[in-house]
Amino acid sequence: MGFYVNPPADAFKAILRSKTYIDKSGLIAYMNQVLETSRMLTCFSRLRRFGKSFAAKMLAAYYSRGADSRELFEDLEIAGMKDAQFEENLNRHDVLFFDMTSFISMADSINDTIRDLQSDIIHELKETFPNCINENIKSLFKALMQVHAKTGRKFFIIIDEWDALFREAQENEELQKEYIQLLRSMFKSSQTSQVIIGAYMTGILPIKKYGTQSALTDFKEYTMLEPGVLTSFIGFTDEEVRNLCAEYNLEFDSARKWYDGYFPNKTGHIYCPNSIMEAVSNHRFGDYWTKTETYESLKTYIDMNYDGLKDAIVDLLGEKRCRIDTGTFQNDMTSLSGKDDIFTLLVHLGYLAYDMETEEVFIPNEEVRNEFIRAIREGRRPELAKAVRMSDKLLEATLCSDETTVARILEDTHETETMPINYNNEQALRYVVIMAYLSAVDHYLRFEELASGKGYSDILFLPRNTSSKPALLIELKWNKNADKALSQITDKNYAHILRKFNYTGEALLIGINYNAKSKKHTCKIKKI
């Protein structure tokens, strides 16, 4: 039993102590199926705090000869799964487990990371397998080969935060190449299958590409672009979140709005586990995925001056989608040649979601939208910062019932943020209003087309728990008048929707009309 070689199950034991542990042991059944097959190498890339490291610790606890973890697993799903080979592989394999961030933090210099990694692990291998490894050996894979030659033992390899070097040493190409060469020596060698029975790598970025070719072609990758059939094992499912909300008396629809949205296709709804657990713990929805190590990157990429980037970001903030080409992205943070590469990177970082069917990106949820707004406020793009400032003024004018200023700002937004071909499109007005009120996310949750009273309210801004501002009920009209829009809110009792959210505070009823002929906006506001 060691630190890197055949670790104990302590890390997974600590995870199980959580009163809100969600069973993801079904992943083990898949890994057992692919052991010593052509599919034995698996790489998961997901955004920060998505549960991938938890899975790594679970696999280590299950496979490691240095652990006695039967009691940890006997009540989990894997123990009762048919044909899961649970008994055959439980604590039966030699495991090599290391976290790349640890080696980076411990190295005297980041340039020494690969040397220190190999030296430390080889030292522990010599202690675990005495008289098997030559004294002067410096290659990790050669050390593993010598252990196998003397003992016949094979290894299951787990690498957590595999891409840390590509994030921490973005400009150090030599170090990156040294690292890739280490991985290739282990996973792309003619002796790989003789020494290794399986591998699980996790990181934020997919495996580095050189041109169109992956540096480690034998890995089966599950990425934010192509999440695959194992998606439910990394992240929380719709059912899991629904059950947690029921148990802890939280509004499920609000949980979905705050933390869902990453995988809109066949994979189903998948939520960020850390954010959900923080919401459960604090009994309130909020921004829990904030200011991660990737936040500074977000600000940097927003500030880049690529063609079409500013307009696309504005569209995304207005809840439009943007079609992109993901094929040119090299799976690193520096080889960026345009808007498409930036947006593809932001998908992997978790700031955008990707629709595989339409090849479009969009902002997945409220938590991420708030991060975009913060990044723009702190960034160096004056045109984007101006849009946020105008939105701040619009909200202030709305709360003061300044109908003239509200109409003027909406008019300016319509003029600057709507393409001429769509200017007289009915959907353009909804987009304009959403875009104009984009900074309201600091204080409100936004809902659209909610059934209420005798119809559907167009837009509702519901105050967050931390806000003392009134609710905003907005009705939109096209080529009619603002008074009629305001009357419709009252006549059809749209304010009834507030009861659904147990809201008893003040509300502003807001009627907005756009005249396509004059291109003028009018506004009427009433307090209730």
89-129 pLDDT, tens per residue? 999 999 999 999 998 988 888 999 999 999 999 999 999 99
Among candidates 295, 404, 344, 318, which has minimal Cα distance to 48? 295
184 and 36, same domain (yes or no): yes
270 and 306, same domain (yes or no): no
Task: Say if 214 falls within a structural domain.
Answer: yes
Picking from 190, 209, 230, the residue at the C-terminal end of a domain is 230
Q: What is the tens place of the pLDDT at every residue in 388-412?
A: 788 889 999 999 999 999 999 888 8
Higher pLDDT, 22 or 417: 22
Position 313 scores a pLDDT of 83
Q: Quote the number of domains for the chain.
A: 4
330 and 406, same domain (yes or no): no
89 and 182, same domain (yes or no): yes
Query: Which residue range(s) make up the domain with 246?
Result: 236-282
Residues 6+ apart with CB under 8 A from 15: 21, 54, 57, 58
Task: Say if 446 falls within a structural domain.
Answer: yes
Q: Give percent helix, percent strand, percent coil of the chain, each to the nearest 5.
A: 45, 15, 35
Residues 6+ apart with CB under 8 A from 501: 251, 462
Mean pLDDT for the stretch of residues 184-188: 93
Picking from 345, 380, 415, the residue at the C-terminal end of a domain is 380
225 and 240, same domain (yes or no): no
Position 266 scores a pLDDT of 64
How far apart, in Å, are the Cα atoms of 109 and each of 112, 166, 374, 456?
Answer: 5, 15, 33, 61
Residues 6+ apart with CB under 8 A from 499: none
205 and 274, same domain (yes or no): no
Q: How confident is the model at residue 425 (pLDDT cuts 50, 70, 90)?
A: low
> What CATH number should be reported for the domain holding residue 475?
3.40.1350
436 and 501, same domain (yes or no): yes
237 has which bridge partners? 270
Task: Say if 5 falls within a structural domain.
Answer: no
Position 431 scores a pLDDT of 73
Q: What is the tens place of the pLDDT at every residue in 483-492?
A: 888 888 887 7
424 and 479, same domain (yes or no): yes
Q: How far apart are the first and last CA of the chain?
A: 68
259 and 304, same domain (yes or no): no
Position 325 scores a pLDDT of 94
How far apart, in Å, are the Cα atoms of 245 and each of 248, 251, 439, 510?
Answer: 5, 6, 28, 33
Position 319 scores a pLDDT of 74
Ranking 61-65, 360-364, 371-375 by mean pLDDT, the lowest is 371-375
Task: Say if 4 falls within a structural domain.
Answer: no
> 472 near 406, Cβ under 8 Å?
no
> 219 near 45, Cβ under 8 Å?
no
Position 420 scores a pLDDT of 40
> What CATH number should be reported for the domain holding residue 369?
1.10.10
Q: What is the tens place of the pLDDT at every residue in 297-331?
A: 787 888 787 888 877 887 787 777 899 999 999 98
75 and 177, same domain (yes or no): yes
Task: Say if 2 falls within a structural domain.
Answer: no
Q: How confident is the model at residue 454 (pLDDT cuts 50, 70, 90)?
A: low
Task: Say if 290 falls within a structural domain.
Answer: no
Q: Are strands 471-478 and 270-271 parallel, antiparallel or unpaired?
A: unpaired
373 and 247, same domain (yes or no): no
Residues 6+ apart with CB under 8 A from 313: 302, 372, 376, 384
Q: What is the tens place of the pLDDT at every residue in 372-387?
A: 888 877 766 777 777 7
Asked if residue 223 has pLDDT above 60, the reply is yes
Q: What is the tens place of the pLDDT at every residue in 265-280?
A: 666 788 989 999 999 9
Asked if residue 421 has pLDDT above 50, the reply is no
474 has which bridge partners? 459, 510
Task: Say if 289 falls within a structural domain.
Answer: no
The DSSP element (H or E) to which 521 belongs, if any, is strand 520-527
475 has which bridge partners? 511
> 2 near 128, Cβ under 8 Å?
yes
88 and 189, same domain (yes or no): yes
Task: Say if 1 falls within a structural domain.
Answer: no
The DSSP element (H or E) to which 407 belongs, if any, is helix 403-417
Q: How confident is the model at residue 419 (pLDDT cuts 50, 70, 90)?
A: very low
Picking from 341, 363, 380, the residue at the C-terminal end of a domain is 380
The C-alpha atoms of residue 185 and residue 41 are separated, in whole angstroms, by 14
Asked if residue 291 has pLDDT above 80, the reply is no
Asked if residue 176 has pLDDT above 80, the reply is yes
